[in-house]
């Protein structure tokens, strides 16, 4: 024997699923069967504890083997999860994303400069609106598409990365202008849109969306 104690482990495909088989070999002149049996029992007990721990919801964090597309140490991953909570994945940036990140970070040094990559979309909805249902629909879309929940980190790492948080809060504001005169509503709405357009996103605080529900009332359309 090459060693006084040897352990060989195989994974066997059974009809009920994968099964682990462990074979223990030892030199009787060095170790008794009782000693090896006691060690084997402790080894299997440890495996059972690890499996039970990994199967518990909300416990397991990422390890380097979970994020093979980026080169991060366990210390770096733990730092990200401490900062951002549980993460679903950590990924490298595409070439286009690297360019967008560079320009956004560079322009951030000028407080008066617009972030040209901010896109403002305005939707007009007429009639009664279920605000709770609208929020639920937006959350469902963000949960379904992981890329819409991505945040970006570029400090403290050898390469910029994007991370996908498991949980997120919905940046939501509700503003009621219906008590104002129509001209005043238009002025206030334009002011809100300008303010929103010039407000930069914190790229390390996803989701990189924000929503403003603005309630208005006009003489021609009623509630909008």
Domain-located, residue 59? no
Same domain flag for 38 and 78: no
Q: What is the pLDDT of residue 210?
A: 95
Report pLDDT digits (tens) over 14-70.
989 889 999 999 999 999 999 999 999 999 999 998 888 777 766 668 999 999 999
Domain residues for the domain of 183 are 64-223
Q: Reduce the secondary structure of 26-55 to three states and give it as a string.
A: ECCCCCCHHHHHHHHHHHHHHHHHHHHHHC
**pTM (2 d.p.):** 0.69
Q: What is the pLDDT of residue 47?
A: 92
Low-confidence ranges of the chain (pLDDT < 50): 220-224
Count how many residues are written for the chain. 224
Domain-located, residue 80? yes
Q: What is the pLDDT of residue 114?
A: 75
Please choose, from the candidates 164, 141, 142, the residue with its C-alpha nearest in 3D space to the C-alpha of residue 151: 164
Q: What is the pLDDT of residue 61?
A: 83
Q: How many domains does the chain have?
A: 2
Cβ atoms 93, 152 nearer than 8 A:
yes
**Coil vs helix vs strand at 100:** helix
Same domain flag for 95 and 161: yes
Q: What is the pLDDT of residue 188?
A: 93
Say if residue 72 is exposed, middle or buried (CB neighbours under 10 Å; 0-12, 13-18, 19+).
Answer: buried
Domain-located, residue 29? yes
Same domain flag for 96 and 188: yes
Does 120 sit behind a cis peptide bond, omega within 30 degrees of 0 on the bond before it?
no
> Quick one: how many helices (H) and strands (E) in the chain?
5, 9
Same domain flag for 47 and 145: no
Please choose, from the candidates 166, 205, 204, 203, the residue with its C-alpha nearest in 3D space to the C-alpha of residue 88: 166
Same domain flag for 41 and 102: no
Same domain flag for 83 and 23: no
């Amino acid at each position: 024997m090459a060693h006084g104690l040897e352990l060989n482990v195989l994974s066997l495909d059974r009809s009920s699923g994968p099964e682990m088989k462990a074979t223990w070999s030892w030199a009787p002149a060095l170790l008794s069967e009782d000693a090896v049996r006691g060690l084997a029992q402790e080894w299997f007990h440890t495996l059972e504890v690890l499996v039970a721990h990994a199967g518990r919801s909300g416990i397991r964090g990422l390890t380097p083997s979970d994020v093979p597309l980026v080169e991060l140490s366990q210390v770096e991953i733990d730092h990200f999860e401490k900062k951002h909570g549980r993460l679903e994945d950590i990924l490298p940036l595409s070439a286009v994303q690297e360019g967008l990140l560079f320009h956004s970070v560079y322009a951030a040094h000028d407080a008066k400069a617009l972030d040209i990559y901010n896109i403002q979309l305005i939707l007009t909805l007429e009639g009664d609106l279920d605000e709770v249902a609208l929020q639920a629909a937006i959350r469902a879309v963000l949960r379904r598409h992981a890329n819409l929940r991505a945040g970006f980190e570029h400090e403290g790492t050898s390469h910029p990365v994007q991370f996908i948080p498991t949980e997120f809060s919905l940046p939501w504001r509700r503003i009621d202008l219906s008590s104002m005169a129509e001209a005043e509503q238009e002025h206030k709405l334009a002011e809100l849109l300008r303010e929103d357009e010039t407000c930069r996103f914190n790229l390390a605080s996803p989701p990189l969306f924000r929503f403003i529900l603005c309630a208005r009332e006009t003489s021609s359309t009623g509630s909008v």
